Amino acid sequence: MITLHHLRIGRSLFTVWLLEEAGADYDLKVYLRDPETMRSQADIKAIHPLGKSPIIEDGDLMLTESGAITLYVLEKYDTERKLHPSRDNLASWASYNQWVAYSEGSVFAPLLLKMLTLRSGVDHPVITPFSDSEIKLHYGHIERQLGDNDYILGKDFSGADFGICYVVSMGERLGQLTDYPKLQSYMQRCMSRAAFQRAVEKAVE
C-alpha cells in the first residue's frame, strides 16, 4: 500500500486526487505548515531531507516530485491505461510526458515569483514584469492547447491534468485567472470530478 505524506495547503492535494482517480489503496499522513513562515516543519523533514510534499512511499521506494509520482502511480495502478497513453504510440506517450513535466518545469516558477511579490506587498521592478509576462505566456499556451477540449490532452481526462489543474488553481488563488475563462471552466470541470471531491473530503479540513 502507498503512503502519501501530505503537507496541508499545497500541491499534494492533487496527489490525493491522483490516488483517488487511480483507485489506489493508500494511507494518508497529514503534516501542517509552520503558521508564521508557511514552510514545512521538522516532522516532514524527518521523512525526506527536502521536507517538501508530496512524498510517497511504496515498499522500499520513496518518491518525491509530483510529476514523477503521477507517472509511477498510473504505471502501477492504471493497468487498463485509461489515464495515460501506452508507449506503443510513442508520439502520444511523449506528448503526455511533456505536459506532465510542463506544469512544474515551466508554469510553476513565475507563479511562485508572483506569490512572493504579492506576499511582500510591493511590486519589484524586474520580478513583477517578468512573472506577469511569463504567466500570460503560459496561460495563453494552456488555453490554446485546451481549445474546445475538456482536458489538456483532448476530450478525455488524463494524468497530465493533475499538474495543469494545480498550476491553474494556483493562478486562481493569486487572482490571475480573470482574463482566462477557459482556464476557469477547465479548473471547475477538473474539481467537480468525483475523485477530486473525495480528495477534498479526505485531505482538506
Binding stretches for ligand GSH (CB under 6 A): 7, 10-11, 39-40, 51-54, 64-66, 104
> Cβ 63 to ligand GSH, closest distance in Å?
10
The x, y and z cell numbers of residue 205, run together, are 479540513
Distance, CA of 70 to CA of 84 (rounded, Å): 10
Under 8 Å between Cβ of 53 and 10: yes
The CA angle 68-141-133, to the nearest 5 degrees, is 100
Between 11 and 84, name the residue whose CB sits nearer to ligand GSH: 11
Q: Which of 62, 57, 66, 50 is nearest to 12 (CA)?
A: 66
> Cβ 66 to ligand GSH, closest distance in Å?
4
> Cβ 53 to ligand GSH, closest distance in Å?
4
> Cβ 171 to ligand GSH, closest distance in Å?
14
State the first-to-last Cα distance of the chain, in angstroms, to the nearest integer.
24
Distance, CA of 156 to CA of 82 (rounded, Å): 9
> Cβ 188 to ligand GSH, closest distance in Å?
21
Between 64 and 95, name the residue whose CB sits nearer to ligand GSH: 64
Between 37 and 178, name the residue whose CB sits nearer to ligand GSH: 37
Between 45 and 182, name the residue whose CB sits nearer to ligand GSH: 45
Sheet with 55-58: list strands edge to edge: 26-31, 2-7, 55-58, 61-64
Between 119 and 144, name the residue whose CB sits nearer to ligand GSH: 119
**Which residues partner with 64 through β-bridges?**
55
Distance, CA of 80 to CA of 60 (rounded, Å): 25
Give the residue at shortest CB distance from ligand GSH.
Answer: 10
3-class DSSP state for residue 147? Answer: coil
